[in-house]
Amino acid sequence: MLPMKILFFSAKPYDKQFFNVYNEPYGFEIEYLETHLGPHIVNAVDGQEAVCVFVNDKVNAEIISVLASKGVKIIALRCAGFNNVDLEAARAHGIRVCRVPEYSPEAVAEHTVAMLLTLVRKTHKAYNRVREQNFSLNGLLGFNLHGKTIGVVGTGKIGGAFCRIMKGFGCRVLAYDLFPNTDLQAAGIEYQSLEAVLSTADVVSLHCPLNPATHYLINENTLAMMKPGVTLINTSRGGLINTAHAIDALKSKHLANLAIDVYEQEEKLFFKDLSENIIEDDTIQRLMSFPNVLVTAHQAFFTEEALTEIAQVTLQNVDRLRRGEEPAQGGSLV
Contact between 295 and ligand NAI (CB under 6 A)? no
Active site residue 132: no
Site string for ligand NAI, 98-117 (x = CB under 6 A): ----x--x--x---------
Judged by CB, which is closer to ligand NAI: 50, or 105? 105
Among 70, 121, 125, 209, binds ligand NAI (CB under 6 A): 209
Contact between 73 and 49 (Cβ < 8 Å): yes
In the complex, residue closest to ligand NAI by CB? 156
Where does this chain touch ligand NAI (CB under 6 A) — which range of 14-22, 67-75, 219-227, 296-304? 296-304
Q: Which of 298, 287, 291 is nearest to 122 (CA)?
A: 291
Q: Count residues near ligand NAI (CB under 6 A).
A: 30
H-type alpha helices, the chain: 13-22, 61-69, 87-92, 105-121, 123-131, 157-168, 182-186, 194-200, 220-225, 243-251, 282-289, 304-322
Residue of 36, 237, 245, 309 marked active site: 237
Site string for ligand NAI, 144-183 (x = CB under 6 A): ---------xxxxxxx----------------xxxx----
Contact between 38 and ligand NAI (CB under 6 A)? no
Residue 233: helix, strand or coil by DSSP? strand
Judged by CB, which is closer to ligand NAI: 213, or 278? 213
Cα-flanking dihedrals φ and ψ of residue 176, to 5°?
Answer: -130, 130
Residue of 264, 266, 267, 309 marked active site: 266
Residue of 49, 267, 298, 309 marked active site: 298
| Long-range contact set of residues 216-219: C-beta below 8 Å, sequence gap at least 24 | 216/240, 216/241, 216/242, 216/245, 217/153, 217/241, 218/242, 218/245, 218/246, 219/245
Q: Strand runs (DSSP E) across 16-98, as ranges?
A: 29-32, 50-53, 74-77, 96-98
Subset of 126-145 contacting ligand NAI (CB under 6 A):
none
C-alpha to C-alpha distance for 44 and 48, rounded to whole angstroms: 10
Among 11, 80, 95, 120, binds ligand NAI (CB under 6 A): 80
The residues near 141 (Cβ < 8 Å, ≥ 6 apart) are 122
Residues lying near ligand NAI in the complex (CB under 6 A): 80-81, 102, 105, 108, 153-159, 176-179, 207-210, 213-214, 235-237, 261-262, 298, 300-301
- Catalytic positions: 237, 266, 298
